[in-house]
A and B are shown apart, each in its own frame.
Chain A
């Protein structure tokens, strides 16, 4: 079957793809960790006895107040809608902390809800336009 002129035009005009991305590319803004905005990071250590004392959620932002025997710490993070629902229903619940290579995971009801970078890893978090 001969290809009609208009078929050729459409095929040549079709820039095409997704099939190849040789350069990575698309950047959505990523949230690389939660941050302690008030209180001592020393309260959040592996095996710490912490309770989720309060939760404030505004849009995709959440502030968690965690209370331990030595005081309290406030953690700020971005959350998905699903995580926000879990947090809102978890006030008064025990928060587990699990140490990882680069910080601590905060776990509520078996689900990890936040990651806190260690100071060593936090030194490698920065992002700006260059130059």
Chain B
């Protein structure tokens, strides 16, 4: 009887975990389009006021407030790239599946995809790091760090999976070491040795089982068993990246632009 129950439960997991989520096309309400575009222009104004080729831009795509976090996603915004005056280069999960891709997009598109709020942080880096970052993006060395196997909760030392924040952290590490090979394992070890501290998220059993047992984009298997049993997971977050950069004196200026978004009305 027990074996039959176990078989039934595991079969259920295997079937639905492969299914992924629908890639639904969302039609934004006109007022949301207007707000996203207004936030994009506000960011452009700040970017134009600074003499820098690149900055980090963080947004609120997911509500992480229960973990004490505000920003869930970050990308590089590059001046005068191929597509326009300002272009955001970042990694996005493909519609809730276990795959990801890198994108270059304008700031209007970037903020149109901010699901929770339009609040944003713009972070400018010291000139040497900014120049090197612009170079590793221009010559596509950063693209060689991309691993399309996506895991929303990827372990910071995972060489099997990657999420959007991990790609940003590894790209920063590549830019900090001119001439270093674009090798994820080496870069991950380097940032850890240089004091990057991943965020520890507590996800209790009840939430995990009720909330996400069947998520195609969540693979806990690259976390140690002790983490799975305790519910304490280490991940690279926007906060952990910015904290690391600030402690290393690599941030020259930061601005947070608050603007209510869809979830706040």
Contacts and interface: CB of A to CB of B under 8 A. Distances in A.
Given A25-B152, A115-B33, A19 B212 contact: yes
Contacts of B235: 20, 22
Contacts of A70: none
Given A22-B152, A24-B59, A114 B30 contact: yes
A123 B228 CA distance: 46
Given A12-B229, A23-B164, A31 B28 contact: yes
A89 interface: no
Interface in A14-32: 14-32
Interface residues of A, number: 55
B102 interface: yes
B213 A14 contact: yes
Interface string B60-90: 0110101101001100000000011111010
Contacts of A4: 2
A126 B64 CA distance: 28
B36 A129 contact: no
Interface stretch (B121-129, B183-191, B217-225): B217-225
A105 B30 contact: yes
Contact of A102 (B37, B85, B87): B37
A40 interface: no
B201 to A, nearest CB: 5
Given A12-B225, A22-B153, A101-B37, A17 B208 contact: yes
B108 interface: yes
B164 A19 contact: no
Contacts of A16: 203, 205, 207-209, 211-213, 215, 218, 220
Task: Classify chain B: how many residues form its interface, as a range.
Answer: 35 or more
B112 A30 contact: yes
29 contacts: A13-B13, A17-B208, A17-B215, A19-B201, A21-B152, A22-B201, A24-B61, A25-B61, A25-B164, A25-B217, A28-B24, A30-B113, A32-B37, A32-B109, A60-B25, A101-B34, A105-B31, A112-B29, A115-B37, A121-B108, A123-B85, A124-B107, A124-B109, A125-B108, A126-B104, A127-B105, A129-B104, A130-B104, A131-B104
Interface of B: 2-3, 5-6, 9-10, 13, 17, 21, 23-31, 33-34, 36-38, 40-42, 44, 59, 61-62, 64, 66-67, 69, 72-73, 83-87, 89, 91-96, 101-109, 112-113, 140, 143, 150, 152-153, 163-166, 199, 201, 203, 205, 207-209, 211-213, 215, 217-221, 225, 228-229, 233, 235-238
